[in-house]
Amino acid sequence: MPARYADWMAQAERDLQVARDNCAQGNFEWSAFQRQQAGEKAVKALRSSRDLGSLYPST
């Protein structure tokens, strides 16, 4: 399976931008959730780029 780190990172960046937009509109709870999701996707990008998936399987 090809490494998908660029895909995961791009999605994390999109999620973070949407979170910023929601925060500016006063949707703080939704913004917090989206920021958490962006963080998880960034970690997946890092794991994928370092080929750490086999050491720490996803749950």
Q: Say what the pLDDT of residue 26 is.
A: 97
pTM of the model: 0.78
pLDDT tier at 1, thresholds 50, 70, 90: very low
DSSP 13-54: HHHHHHHHHHHHTT-HHHHHHHHHHHHHHHHHHHHHHTT-TT
| Tens digits of residue pLDDT in 5-55 | 899 999 999 999 999 999 999 999 999 999 999 999 999 999 888 876 555
Q: Say what the pLDDT of residue 5 is.
A: 87
